[in-house]
Structure 1
Amino acid sequence: MFEKIYDSVEQAQVQYIGYISDASKYDFAIVFSSHFFGKPLVVCLQTNRASILGTDDLDDLPHLLKLFDIKDLEEGKELADLLRRRMPEPHFDDPY
């Protein structure tokens, strides 16, 4: 049996980011929402991998590399820096 936890609709802001490194091309969509404690949903449009990420999550480079299937540590650092500049400040309102 399923039990409803939440069911809500909101207008979300989406930012699309594309960039090229020496080895790869990346296209990301960042979905800004009031859900998930203000952390945005980051979607890699090449791999269809997605995660709810905050600035604290960007400090965990091994996780970021695995999450988006990035093989090069320097590219992972560049991605973390790119996303960090676009992340909102975290807030701790309970969305539920």
Structure 2
Amino acid sequence: MAIPSLHIIDALRKTANQLQNGSRYEWGHMGSCNCGNLAQTITAFSRAEIQQRALQNPGDWSEQLVEYCPSSGLPMDFIIEKMIDFGFSKQDLRHLEWLSD
């Protein structure tokens, strides 16, 4: 689990506020799903940029998190790396995507 910190809390609140105020939510879209919306907040990539990077690899967020390799140079791995560097674990992101914890 992510170590509680103000910047993690702020990112989650900002993402929730953006969704509440009309940001696009689309569970089947890699840039507009749960992790996609958080990735927009953390990385400042647009939903379209996240989707474009994600489609270069097979799988949804959960599958791409399993295959994540920090030295791969793959565009989606760069986004995942930024989220991990921010303080989230791969498990945190899987739980967020599936709202399972």
TM-score bin, normalised by smaller chain: 0.3 to 0.5
TM-score normalised over the length of structure 1: 0.40
**Greater RCO, 1 or 2 (C-alpha within 8 Å, sep 6+):** 2
Report the structure, 1 or 2, having the larger helix content.
Answer: 2
Q: Which one has a bigger Cα radius of gyration?
A: 1
Report the structure, 1 or 2, having the larger strand content.
Answer: 1
TM-score normalised over the length of structure 2: 0.38
